[in-house]
Amino acid sequence: MITKYTIAQIMDAAKIEEVVGEYVSLKKRGSSLLGLCPFHNEKTPSFNVSVSRNIYKCFGCGKGGNALNFMMEAQQMSYVEALKYLAKKYNIDIVEEQVSEEQKKEEEIKHSLQESIHIVNQFAQRFYTDYMLENEEGRIGLAYFKERGFSKATIEKFQLGFAPDQGTLLTETALKSGYQLDILKKAGLTSSKEDSKYDFFRNRAMFPIHNLMGKVIAFGGRILKKDEKAPKYVNTPESDVYVKSKIVYGIFHAKNEIRKKDECFLVEGYTDVISLSQNGLKNVVASSGTALTHDQIKLIKRFTNNITLLYDGDKAGIKAALRGTDLILEEGMNVRIVILPDEEDPDSYMRKMGITQFEEYLQHNKKDLILFKSSLFAEDVKNDPIKKAELIRDIVESIAKTPDPIKRSVYIKSCADILNISEQILIQEANKSRRKFTAQLHKDDNQAIEQQKIADTKEERAIHSDAIEPSVNSLEYYEKDIVRILMESGDKKIKHGEDLITLASFIFEELSEEIFESKYKEVYEFIKNLTESLSANEYLQHENAAIASVAMELLTSPYELSEGWMKKHHIPVPMGDAIIDKDLLSAVIRLKQYKNLEEIKKTMEEIEKCESPESLQKLMQNLNELNKQKKLINAETVTVIYRPEIK
C-alpha cells in the first residue's frame, strides 16, 4: 500500500496544467485556463483549469477533480495506476507501507497469477494470428474475415486469428516456449482429461477479448465448419482476469469515441462491432449474445449515459432481447432502440446501405425504449383484454425502474395515450412497483420504504390537484450555503463578543448537527469533527471522493469577474472578505428560519389531530415557544444584531 506521505508528495508535485495540457489545448482566460473538454463532444470551450487550486472542472458535462482524477478518467486507470503514473512523471519514488507477510504473499500470488494469465493470453493471441497468416489451414480463418469485408488494418487492430484443428498444437508450442501447463489451464487455453491435455479452442476463427487497458483477457471462437453438435461460438471459461458478466466486447477500442460522442451503440455480436468500427461507427460494443448485467451497464455508464440498442426485425427476438433492458433504466440511463429491416443485422445492413445511409437510418429510426415497447405490442393486444393487461404491467414495471420522476411522468402520459388507459391507474400501478422495488433494495430500511410511500402519495395527488412541487428544495439550498462557507472560509477569524473565533466555530455554536437533513449533512458532520481546519484547496484535493465531489460542486464556478471591466464601467463589486459576514449571517438565519417554520407546521398538524387534553396543552405550549423563536429569527432578518469583523 502506498504511504500517505508519498501520496501527498505526488499530489503536491503534480501540476494540473501540465497533466491536462498533454491531452487538451489550453488558453488563458482571466486567472484560469480554458479548453475543449476531452470527456464529451463540444464546440464551445467549457473545460476550466484552475492553476491556483490545482483542479479542473468542465461546466458542460460536470466532470472535475485533480490531476489524479484526470488521469483515472482520461486513461481509465485505477487509483494506484494513476498514482504510479504521476510518480514516474515527476520522479517521485514510491514508498509502500508494510503489510503482514501473509497479506503480502496472498497479494503477490494473486497479482502474479493475473500477470501470468495476461502474458500467456498475449502469447496465444500472437499464435492464433500468426497461424492464420502463415499456415495453409489458417487461411480458412483469413478467408472468413475477408468474406466479412475486414481489411488487413482491421484484422491487425482487433488482433483476429485462427485456432488450428490439430488438438494440441497451441499447448505444445506454449510448453516448448516455456509457459507452464498450470497457467495455460487457468487461462482457459488448455483442457485436460486424465493424463491427456488438449487445446480448448480448435478449428475456430478467434476473436480476442480485451479489458479497458487493452490487455487480452479471453477469447471468443467461431466455428467455421458445419457441425450440428458443436456450438457456433464458445468463450474462454471464466478466470482470475475474465468474468463474462463484467465485460463488453470492443470497449477498449470504443471507449474514447463513446465518451466523445456521448452515446454507445450496443449490438449482439463480435462481427457487428468490427464491421461498424471499420466503416466509421466506432462507438459500438457487443453484449456477446448474453443478457445484459448490472456490471456491464455500469462499465458503459463510465463513458456515457446514452445507450442505443440495435436489433434485427424479428419480433420474437426483440421480445427476448428487451427483457434485460430494465437494468439500464435502473441505472438512470437514457435507452433508445433501432429496429433494422427483417433478415438484416447491423453488419449486413451497413454493408448493403453504406455507412452514410446507415447512420442516417439510425438517426431517423431511434425510438425511446418504453414508448417503443408501448407502440410495438399495442396492436397485438388491442382485442385481448388479458394480454393488454399483461403488456401494461410489463410497461409499468419498466417505468417504475426509472429513477427520474420527470421521466416517469412523461412516460406515463405518453403510454396512457398509446394504450388508451387512465394516467391515474398507470401512476398507482407504477408506484406499487416502485414500493416493491424499494423494499427489495432496502430490505431492512423502513425509513426508505416510508419515504417512497410519501413520494408516491404526493405524485398521485398531483394528478387531481395540479399541485407542483417546488423545483428547488429550500432546506438543501440553505444547507448547501452553510457547507460552502465552511469549506471556503471556515478557518477565518471573526470577533465574537470579546473573543476572536473562527467562522466554523460560530456556525457550530449556532447550529446543531440535527438541523441538517439533506445530502450535505454527512459533509457538515465531517467538517465539524475535524481536529484541524482544512483550506479550500485541501477539500478540493481530499482523498475522500464524496468530500472532494461536494467541494468541486460548491467551490468552482464557470464565471469570473473581470477587474478591468469593473474599473472601466466604475462598478464596485464587493469581493472576498467584504461579503463573508453578509453570507454567513444570511445562511445561518435562513436555515434556522426554515426549520422553525417546519416545526410550527408540524406542531399545528399534531394539534388538529390531538384528542387528549393533556397532550393538547403540551402541544400548545410548544407552539407558543416556537412562535417566540419565530419572532426573534424574523427580527434578525431585518436588524443586524451581530456583525462579525473579518481579521
Average pLDDT over residues 208-228: 89
Highest mean pLDDT among 342-351, 475-484, 542-551, 590-599: 342-351
Per-chain mean pLDDT for the chain:
79
Same domain flag for 388 and 323: no
Same domain flag for 521 and 550: yes
Average pLDDT over residues 106-120: 83
Q: Is residue 544 part of a domain?
A: yes
What does the pLDDT read at residue 458?
A: 46
pLDDT tens track for 402-433: 877 888 888 888 888 887 888 888 888 888 87
Residues 6+ apart with CB under 8 A from 181: 171, 175, 190, 197
Ranking 75-89, 164-178, 252-266, 517-531 by mean pLDDT, the lowest is: 517-531
Query: Could you count the other beta carbons within 10 Å of the beta carbon of residue 532?
Result: 5
Confidence check: pLDDT of 460 > 70? no
What does the pLDDT read at residue 462?
A: 43
Q: How far apart are the first and last CA of the chain?
A: 42
Whether the Cβ atoms of residue 502 and residue 530 lie closer than 8 Å to each other: no
What does the pLDDT read at residue 204?
A: 95
**All cell numbers assigned to 474:** 429550500
Domain final position from 208, 242, 276 = 242
Average pLDDT over residues 202-212: 94
Q: Among 557, 486, 493, which residue's Cα sits nearest to residue 523? A: 486
Domain final position from 242, 270, 300 = 242
Average pLDDT over residues 245-260: 89
Domain region containing 165: 101-242
Average pLDDT over residues 223-233: 85
| β-strand pairing of 493-496 with 499-502 | antiparallel
Q: Is residue 537 part of a domain?
A: yes
Q: Among 129, 161, 412, 130, which residue's Cα sits nearest to residue 270? A: 161
Average pLDDT over residues 232-253: 91
What does the pLDDT read at residue 467?
A: 33
Confidence check: pLDDT of 476 > 60? yes
Q: Is residue 643 part of a domain?
A: no
Where are the strands (E) in 149-280, listed by range?
Answer: 161-163, 190-193, 196-199, 204-210, 216-223, 233-235, 264-267
Name residue 197's beta-bridge partners: 192
Same domain flag for 412 and 510: no
What does the pLDDT read at residue 103?
A: 64
pLDDT tens track for 477-487: 777 777 888 88
The C-alpha atoms of residue 310 and residue 272 are separated, in whole angstroms, by 10
What does the pLDDT read at residue 158?
A: 97
Same domain flag for 119 and 238: yes
Give the CATH number for residue 203.
3.90.980.10
pLDDT-derived band at 216 (thresholds 50, 70, 90) equals: very high
Same domain flag for 349 and 482: no
What does the pLDDT read at residue 576?
A: 47
Confidence check: pLDDT of 461 > 60? no
Q: Give me the torsion for CA of 340, 346, 351, 352, rounded to 10°.
A: -10
Whether the Cβ atoms of residue 533 and residue 490 lie closer than 8 Å to each other: yes
Average pLDDT over residues 45-61: 86
The C-alpha atoms of residue 53 and residue 557 are separated, in whole angstroms, by 13
Confidence check: pLDDT of 646 > 80? no
Give the CATH number for residue 26.
3.90.580.10
Confidence check: pLDDT of 359 > 80? yes
Q: Is residue 96 part of a domain?
A: no
- Number of structural domains (the chain) is 5
Give the CATH number for residue 260.
3.40.1360.10
What does the pLDDT read at residue 99?
A: 59
Same domain flag for 378 and 279: no
Confidence check: pLDDT of 199 > 60? yes
Same domain flag for 540 and 607: yes
Ranking 119-128, 174-183, 237-246, 459-468 by mean pLDDT, the lowest is: 459-468
Confidence check: pLDDT of 182 > 80? yes
DSSP-based three-state secondary structure for 627: helix
DSSP-based three-state secondary structure for 267: strand
Ranking 143-152, 258-267, 316-325, 425-434 by mean pLDDT, the lowest is: 316-325
Same domain flag for 219 and 179: yes
Average pLDDT over residues 353-371: 89
Same domain flag for 226 and 289: no
317 backbone dihedrals φ, ψ, rounded to 5°: -65, -35
Q: Is residue 647 part of a domain?
A: no
Q: At what angle do helices 270-278 and 251-261 cross, to 10 degrees?
A: 50
* Cα angle: 40, vertex 45, 46; to 5 degrees: 75
Where are the strands (E) in 260-305, listed by range?
Answer: 264-267, 284-286
pLDDT-derived band at 463 (thresholds 50, 70, 90) equals: very low
Average pLDDT over residues 82-99: 82
pLDDT tens track for 263-307: 999 998 899 999 999 999 999 999 876 678 888 888 888 778 899
* Four-residue CA torsion sign, 473, 477, 479, 480: positive
Long-range Cβ contact pairs of 25-28 (< 8 A, separation 24 or more): none
Element (H, E) at 64: strand 64-65
pLDDT tens track for 99-109: 566 766 776 77
Q: Is residue 645 part of a domain?
A: no
Residues 6+ apart with CB under 8 A from 552: 55, 57, 64, 65, 540
Q: Is residue 94 part of a domain?
A: no
Q: Is residue 644 part of a domain?
A: no
What does the pLDDT read at residue 95?
A: 75
Q: At what angle do helices 385-400 and 369-381 cross, to 10 degrees?
A: 170
The C-alpha atoms of residue 31 and residue 23 are separated, in whole angstroms, by 20
Same domain flag for 460 and 409: yes
pLDDT-derived band at 568 (thresholds 50, 70, 90) equals: low
Q: Which of residues 397 and 315 earns the better pLDDT score?
A: 397
Domain final position from 431, 465, 499 = 465
**All cell numbers assigned to 32:** 484560469
Same domain flag for 213 and 350: no
Whether the Cβ atoms of residue 292 and residue 334 lie closer than 8 Å to each other: no
Same domain flag for 500 and 589: yes
pLDDT tens track for 579-614: 455 556 666 777 777 777 878 888 888 887 877 777
For cell 418504453, the residue is 370
